[in-house]
Every structure is written in structure tokens, then in C-alpha cells.
Amino acid sequence: MSASLRLARPEDTERVRRLVAACHEEAGLLPDPEARDAALQALLSGEVPGALYLIGPASSPLGYASLSFGHSLQAGGTEAHLEDLYIRPGIRGRGMGTEALTALAKMLGKNGVSRITTSGLRTGTSLLHRLSADPDRAPRLTLRLR
């Protein structure tokens, strides 16, 4: 299995909706479904500064990573905030999250993003603990890309 990344598009809405709902349910988040769907549509259609990447095969994604982008003086430019990193429960423990985050960091760095930050991530926390130099700060993490 490969943790290849593919930018989600509007035609992926149903697939993405199921993954996001599963992630939020597992994390104990129960946002208003209509508000979540509206935010998802804005993200997939490119109306907001962010992106959602599907992880794994296009026909049956293993998970997703959702990001928002902003400008940071501290980062010296564009910063990506990782809101969700979700791998389906049956797939976890095989390095898919690590592989996806590594590929994401490499791709974003090549495209001018200075760093990836995350805080309050409710899934993928074991991965963040492994990557963090300060385990007390996980699940907060900053990955400098350049």
C-alpha cells in the first residue's frame, strides 16, 4: 500500500464527506453537518485558502489530510496549518500517516511553504508524538520546511 497524495476535487465530495465524518465522529467532534458540508464545498472548490489531500488509491482512499494556508512573519512567508490527518482505523500502524506527512512536507516545501503547524489534532497523535522533539508539546507540532 502506498500513501500517495492526490488533491481532492469537487467530484470527490461524497468520498471526502464520509472520511471527514468518520474522523470527526472518532475524535468526538460533532459539528453541524450542514456547516461542515458548506466548509467542505468551499475547500474543494478552491474558494478558501486551503487544500484537502486524499491519501492512497483514488478509488478507495485510506485517509486524508486537510490544510489551511496563511501568511506568517515568523515563518517568513506561507504557512500551512494541518487541521486533520486521518487514516482509516483498519489501516493504521503501517506507516501510512508518516509516509503521507513526509510526502506532504516535501511537496509543500517545494511550493514555497515555510512550515507546517498543527495543534489540537485529535487523530494521528501517536505520529505527532514520534515526530515531536518535545513530547509534552505533542499534539502541537511545527515542521520547518526551509
Which CATH code of 3.40.1190.20, 3.40.630.30, 3.30.465.10, 3.40.50.1820 fits the domain covering 5-144? 3.40.630.30
Query: Which DSSP helix (H) or strand (E) runs through 24?
Result: helix 13-26
pLDDT digit string, tens, across residues 13-61: 999 999 999 999 998 888 899 999 999 999 999 999 999 999 999 889 9
What pTM does this model have?
Answer: 0.85
What is the average pLDDT across 79-92? 93
- The distance between the two most distant Cα atoms of the chain, rounded to a whole number of Å, is 40
Of the listed ranges 38-47, 60-69, 117-126, the least confidently predicted one is: 117-126
Write down the domain spans for the chain. 5-144
What residues contact 138, with CB distance under 8 A and at least 6 apart? 125, 128, 129, 131, 132
pLDDT at 40: 97
